[in-house]
Amino acid sequence: MLSPIVAGVWRMASWNWSPQERLRWIEQCLDLGVTSFDHADIYGGYTVEALFGDALALAPELRQRMQLVTKCGIQLRVDARPDTRIKHYDTSAQHIVRSVEHSLTQLRTDVIDLLLLHRPDALMDADEVASAFDTLRTQGKVKAFGVSNYTPAQYELLQSRTPLVTNQVECHPLHRAPLYDGTFDQAQRLRARPMIWSPLAGGALFSSETEDAMRVRGTLTSIGARYGVSAATIAFAWLLRLPCNPYPITGSRRIEAMQEAVAATAITLDRQEWTDILVAATGKDVP
């Protein structure tokens, strides 16, 4: 459903680009085979979807070559929304439907390919969410649904009411929880390929001076030299080696960073190379 590497746009508002510059970036991503774009209604203080939509309006035929992913469920305090006095979560049917209508308008599209609930909501009524999803699916406004940052139990609850296709979670050598907490086991059991945000630890893999980050960086660089690719490419290859077949998201404005991520799709680390990176991250051999 999605491209092997997904383009994340959460920082687009800070790029300070013209619509033409944003369109050129979109075209370059598509030319690399990065056809999926990951949004959320709140990105850029509720501005990024419109920035992307304005660029897409310059070449609307490109919509047929891409998949648009967006998220809802977080209410932010911003000047444009004075009724929100505190940041909170809202997975009510009314909010989900309103968010989708707003996203469709901002993105200048008739349909969202994949809608995710952005964060677990302790007040979520699974039946109410399922009803909202069913309505949006029947109306042809959303093709598929998933969640983001859900535990396996939270995913299982909503999955019992309505079909889900993915759980978008954080994972990289410095954050390995999904490997062990059942998240990726569940994804493999359900054949629901997860999406992965922050695959490079927000840049910490290459900037942090902590001991674990420096060990991982050295190992990634060493393995990359064997393959003739960058350390970043090997970091993506480490994730792509997982049997749950994840979709890593890369959010860089640099097309070179996109190229590094795409290059990982041609690399299959062997078990020892994959474990080399794990051992560098933990600082100890596997048991």
**Catalytic residue numbers, as ranges:** 43
The three-point CA angle 51-57-61 to 5° equals: 130
Strand ranges, E, within the chain: 6-8, 36-38, 67-72, 74-75, 88-89, 112-117, 142-148, 167-170, 195-197, 247-250
Q: Which tokens belong to 81?
A: 């929304």
* Residue 6 β-bridge partners: 36, 249
Q: How far apart are CA 203 and CA 275, in angstroms?
A: 21
CA 196 from centre of chain: 5
Q: How far apart are CA 237 and CA 257, in angstroms?
A: 14
Nearest to 262 by CA among 253, 250, 277: 250
